[in-house]
Amino acid sequence: MITYVTATDEDDGTNAEWTYTIVDRLSNEFTVDGTNGEVTTLRPLDREEQDTYEVYTSAVDHGESPRSGHTYVTVTLIDINDNPPVFESDSYKATVPEQTSDIFVITVK
Ligand SMILES: [Ca+2]
Ligand SMILES: [Ca+2]
């Protein structure tokens, strides 16, 4: 679980009962529990690919003419150290004269 959303409804009976849903049906990153509003991730997310998500969430009541409320959940990914340092080149070549010390060789990047 990453967070939970809560709604209130001032009506009575089924008019004041509701189900939570995520509005963007194409979203395959997050889901919300219809009953308790718990928002969870559906797959591992990569901060280096996308670091924040706006999850548009709604509560739809069970009245005869259902009414709904909406909110945005902003999810920010925390970095984990999953990438190693990478050199610009797989190999480097340098030449230096023999019989010398403390001589510049090359800068690797
Ligand atoms: Ca209502
Ligand atoms: Ca990372």
Domains (range + CATH), the chain: 3-76 (2.60.40.60)
Q: Which of 14, 23, 10 is nearest to 59 (CA)?
A: 23
pLDDT, one tens digit for every residue, the chain (109 residues): 788 999 999 999 999 999 999 998 677 899 999 999 999 999 999 999 999 999 999 999 999 999 999 999 999 999 999 999 999 999 999 999 999 899 999 999 9
Residue 3: both structure tokens together: 């967070």
| Coil, strand or helix at 4 | strand
> Cα Rg for the chain, rounded, in angstroms?
27
Give the Å distance between the CA of 58 and the centre of ligand 1.
13
SS3 39: strand
Q: Which residues surround ligand 2, an ion (CB under 5 A)?
A: 79, 82
Distance 51 CA to ligand 2 centre (A): 10
CA 22 / ligand 2 centre spacing (Å) = 27
**For residue 38, which of 60, 72, 5 has the smallest C-alpha distance?**
5
